[in-house]
Copies of this chain bind each other. A is one copy, B any other.
Amino acid sequence: MRLLLVNPNTSAAMTARMEAAAAASLAPDAALTAVTAARGLPYIASRAEAQLAGSAVLEILAEHQAGYDAAVIAAFGDPGLIAARELFDLPVVGMAEAAMLTACQLGQRFGLVTFSGTLLPWYEDAVALAGLLGRCACVRAVAAGFRSVTEVQHELEAEIVTLANRAVTEDGADAVILAGAPLTGLALRVGDAVPVPLIDPLAAALGQAQALVRLGAQPPRAGRFARPPAKPATGLAPALRRRIERRDADDL
Contact = CB atoms under 8 A, between A and B. Distances in A.
Interface string A28-59: 11100000001111100111111110110010
B196 A41 contact: no
A67 interface: no
A228 B45 contact: yes
Contacts of A212: 102, 105-106, 207
Given A27-B210, A198-B217, A50 B83 contact: yes
Given A174-B223, A218-B197, A228-B48, A244 B107 contact: no
Nearest to A207: B211
A203 interface: yes
Chain B CB count within 10 A is highest, among A41, A197, A226, for A197
A80 B97 contact: no
Contact of A48 (B28, B83, B195): B83
A231 B45 contact: yes
Report how many copies the assembly holds.
6
A17 interface: no
A246 to B, nearest CB: 12
A168 interface: yes
A208 B97 contact: no
B223 A195 contact: yes
A186 interface: no
A226 B120 CA distance: 12
Contacts of A29: 27-28
A103 to B, nearest CB: 9
Given A197-B218, A199-B217, A58 B47 contact: no
